[in-house]
Structure 1
Amino acid sequence: MTQEISLANAQALPSQQVSLDDIEPVTHSGRASLSRAPSLARFGRYDLLGRIAFGGMAEIFLAREVSETGRAGRHVVLKRVLPHVAEDEHFVEMFVDEARLAMHLNHPNICHVYAFGEESGSFYIAMEWVDGMPLSKLVRRARERGGVPIPIALRIVAMVAEALDYAHRASDSQGEPLGIVHRDVSPQNVMVSYDGPVKLLDFGIAKAASHSTRTEAGVVKGKFAYMSPQQCLGEPIDARADVFALGLCLYEILTGRNPFKRQTEFDTMRAIVYEDAPPLADAITSREPRIEIQRELEALIARAIAKKPEERFQSAGEMQMAIEQVLARSGTVVLAAKVGELMHDLFANEIKAGPQLDRRLSMPPPRATVPSGENEAMSSLPPGPNATQRIEVATPHDDERPSSIVPPRRRMLGALMIAAGLALFAVTGGVGAWVAYTMGAQGAHSEVVIPSVGAGPSAPAAPTTGAIYVDSTPSGAHIELEDRGDVGTTPMEIGLLSPGRYLVRLRADGHDDWERAIDLRAGDRAQLVAVLSANAPDLEEEEEEAAEPEPVARAVRPSRREREPAAPPGRVSINSRPWSKVYVGGRLLGTTPIGDVEVQSGSVRLRFVDRDGEEHVRSITVPPGGHAREFFDLRAQAE
């Protein structure tokens, strides 16, 4: 008899638990083929069977590939990019590399991208149809039955680790390592097929080290609850960030909850950076009699989610090996087929009914809401009257490599990159996407408004000049602009400046001079805020002046600033709630979260300007040559 290893969630759960011995083998005789589903419309070489979801960037269809002879082929998920997205040059530049990256990856545990192109003026991407459920839904459904059995949880995570290890080690056509980091490993981006194989989705926000389009400084990408501490702080990351996220996934499968998930994104990231996860033994109830297995799991997860990257598994492959060793010592052999048996046990009704499809081809209302955080970025369409139908499905067994594509024109590539940036979708009503947005104080939904073609007034003429706003503490400092001399005193806005580089200098009696160079572009309104340092006299000078009542001639002594070497600078990583622009003096550090930026050491005055234009002043102490990290809750009482 196989040793039973099962699991109950830490929270109150029914006494009945799923165990390996309770799961019956599966037969496929009752599952009909999608090949009999009627086509709604032809789109290039694809028959559209129904729409799955609609979002701000694309609409998602279940489709059937049709050969040149008219013969029905494999089923695919077809993402058709909305026209307005292709006009966004920023997205075009950002996603060119992601398209190439998606075509590089070919692994049994990674969802395949088959093709992309343009058809009748619409851009599309075709990818593998995964007949199953996201891991997140598996975890929730299993909770009703006592949780996912430990060996099955380990097998699922081992398959994801294998996929990540492949992606991390992937090379280009010249054999050069791509240096890929997924950045968004989460239960929502892991598909568990009804037959058992596991597929990692959504390489849309992944980045390769060799990419020409770099991630912007201080931009956080991914689901907040699964970010590594380094991601939360906007610091550079490597493959070990994916190891951290995968460790959190394993913790969640075993306990039913993410150890760092809080009410808001800000509190979640603070917990990730500063707090420890509750011990696994406190969150898991298991009938596994060998306590050493639980201890091994505890040690495995603790290593995967270590705060410091050097203390984690150094590769996903190393983590996979550790999982296999725990499975081997448990005396239980679990293959993908056993995972499929659990899926059939938990989702029998869904398998019988098939996917829910919207059989209308008319466009939904032109306003779509994109949820923030870990919620799904494309919402399933609500069924209308006589609009939805269930279609029984059969899982395709297709591991073909992505087809070769003739490079399309630049505009089409940009749009398809955006499609690739959406999650690799499986028809469950959920899709993940790379979404760039500004978070509100409460982490509210960010709305994507789809503009009507030809609507609205014509664009105003582009500005040709800029302005610089200068303020100081204390105020009243004289402002000198290079080549213009003294132009006034602080606070003051200097307008109608031609684009170019300007050197701004402030002078005030009893204070050291302050200066900053700034590059001004047309339409910019730059802000410089300086805290002037008082130039107090030396004690020795005061004593000498007191002892010499009569003025005498003496050599001019250098100031303290000239005599004492400046302390070496330090670095800061800053996050805030709400998200804000951060200034040190007149220098804009960036928009929070900001990672690994050089500033002067000592007590540094930070000025935050939030999305409503409100200013907040905070201070941070930066050690010389060191690195200071801090979260600031700007809603708390100001300094």
Structure 2
Amino acid sequence: MTTGSHTTRFGKYELQQRLGAGGMAVVHRARFTLAPGVSRSVVIKRVRDPYAQDPAFVKMFLNEARISMGLSHGNIVQVFDFGEVEGEFFLAMEWVDGQPLSHVLKRSKLKGLAHLPAPLAVGLVLEVCKGLHHAHTRRDEEGRPLGLVHRDVSPDNVLVSYEGEVKLSDFGIAKAQLSDRPETEAGVVRGKYIYLSPEQTRAEVLDARSDVYTTGVVLFELLTGRRPVEGDAHAVMERIAKGMLTPAHQYVPELDASLVALVSRALALRRDDRFTSAEDFQRALAEWLAYRAPLFPATTLRHLMGWLFEEELKLAGHEPRIPASFLRQVAIWTGEDGPGGLGEPATASSVYRALDSAYPEERATDVPLEAGAGGREPLPMWIWGALVAVVVGLFVWRAVVPEVLAPTLRKLPVVTNPPGAEVRWDGAPVGTTPALLEVDPGDATHQLELRFVGYKPWSTTVSESAVPERVQVALERLVPETPKSAPAQGQQEDSRSPTGARANKPAAPTPRGMKGFVYYWKDRRPEASASYLVGVDHLRGGNVMQAQSEFRRCLEVDAASVLCHLELGRMGARQGKAREAREHYQRYLDLEPQGDDAAEARKYLSGGRKGR
């Protein structure tokens, strides 16, 4: 294969330049002529031997190629052709005029950026999550989920264009690469073990949460310039499998704690503890950006690419236009202009404010400053000076004096692991973690509570006179214990109804007969039991709508929860919602035909319509 200006014919494509080669494929830049004088640049990926000689692999490769062609999203490299040329299989993909993220990281370090500013890293990974969610939720023509998993989210497979676009590549081909082959086979994963999820190291069946984990590894690397696990392949895979990761703040102590919590959740060892989907991860990152860096310019990634690859762009005849404000910000990031945090909110805002002076030519007018409108004589300089003094005085008064006169509010960051816990201040909900509370100065005390479905509630007292620097809590998972012996039926008789009035009621209704309440939940998901308990608590407090919401959430987690179906049947009966009552009572009977409350359900369904 020749390089430079020479080309080689490959079917209907002209191979122009070899871009690289991996264990499975060789990649070329090519040109496809649509019509005389009309052509487009594409990327051709040719399958290498011995894979091209393996019928099972070829079959899987072609199947995955068809699936990849069905992915159409702005954050995924488009695959628009595949086939065979003289016995050699290939993919034809969209040409992205830019660089792999791995090259961006290397060039950043060469130019003095040890790691990317946090808002820039978060915004970049947010775009990756968009592409992942599109692929994860794709369905076939009959509406069945395809169950796509990328399996190889890494900086090599994230492309960043010179215009600041972010695109995920190698969807589908990575799945073919790892299917029916041991992951340790030479030339298959080749160095990618660093980005494997724990379930990949154990060769388990993968789902979308595996991609969430590997995307979290990419974010970790962008934020710190390091990886959560480093070393030889055996040691790295063993540490990944056991969840023995280096915390991000160990590499970058000044990293925002709420962002560290998001990264930690994405990198949770257990899949159930991670974000449930790439969309959930994207939403959390978007909320962090909106809260911690609301003024960070969306054009920063484009300017960064122009700054990092300025020479390459000049050689290609596309000299980048880099604003002076961005260069001033780079000086702060690299430490050339005094100390500065990489991506802290104040820094992010300063970038935005500096944009006002970045493009002075865009504010220029055709009228010289010396001349008045309509050619009139300019105002005397002393008048201009007086006007400027008045404007500056008003600005100082409005911006400075109120700050001086106003009482100083103390900031209290509240962080939980996992994030997303409800924050209550003196009993009133004030948001979810990570949160930043403002505490008035004084001598009063306040009650801070943290609640998260599936975890034990947590609370503490905060004094206005001694506000802590931070509240950081690792919530304890709510896992019911098996009782030594099932309670006697007579002991449970008066406590099974969540609407009863006995003062000595247990914390939740207890079904009679075969199972005690705790025993019932033993083998079920703790999140469902927690929702049930919260729902019962709401019922006792008269909060019917909140209780109904919790019981429904319980069924979202565990659709076979007889207790939640029973309570929703009773609520439907009390509210006159016959259809809803019948649906849940019937489901209760389907699951527990001999249950303690089966008679109640049958009576309602037979026409007695009596629900407790």
* TM-score, reference length from structure 2: 0.47
The higher radius of gyration belongs to 2
* TM-score, reference length from structure 1: 0.45
Structure with the bigger RCO (C-alpha within 8 Å, sep 6+) is 1
Please state which structure has a larger fraction of its residues in strand: 1
